[in-house]
Amino acid sequence: DPPAFSDAPIQGFRLFWKEADTGREQSVDVDGRSYRLEGLKKAQQYRLRFLAYNRHGPGIASAELGVTTLSDGGKRGENGKKREKPGGG
């Protein structure tokens, strides 16, 4: 099991994503604190989790986060969220 605490600095992060319908999981190592995940299918549900690693190895992974990608009809605002149509519809 990974240690609950380490005084070694974080060297990077690993992002895991899994297609909800197939269970196919992929991962990527991320150096910074942000990452643009590209090549996802439209209108698809995904499960994401993250972990940090240092010289001692990987830490404990986060809880899974469920997300759904937009379809062609969605328009995104500046924050990446789908915009509502005028009138709330």
Q: pLDDT per residue over 29-43, tens digit each?
A: 998 889 999 999 999
Enter the pTM of the model: 0.70
Q: Which residue ranges make up each domain of the chain?
A: 1-32+48-71
The per-residue pLDDT of the chain, averaged, comes to 83
Kindly provide the residue ranges of all beta strands, DSSP E only, lying in the chain, ordered along the sequence: 12-19, 25-30, 45-54, 57-58, 65-68
Q: Which of 3-17, 22-36, 49-63, 72-86 has the lowest mean pLDDT?
A: 72-86
Query: pLDDT value at position 44?
Result: 94
Q: Give me the mean pLDDT over the 3-27 stretch.
A: 88
Q: Give me the mean pLDDT over the 16-21 stretch.
A: 94
Q: List, as own/partner pairs, every contact residues 4-9 make where C-beta atoms lie below 8 angstroms and the sequence separation is at least 24, other chains included.
A: 4/60, 6/54, 6/56, 6/59, 8/54, 8/55, 8/56, 9/54
- DSSP annotation of 41: P
| Cα gap 47→65, rounded to integer Å | 5
Query: pLDDT value at position 8?
Result: 87
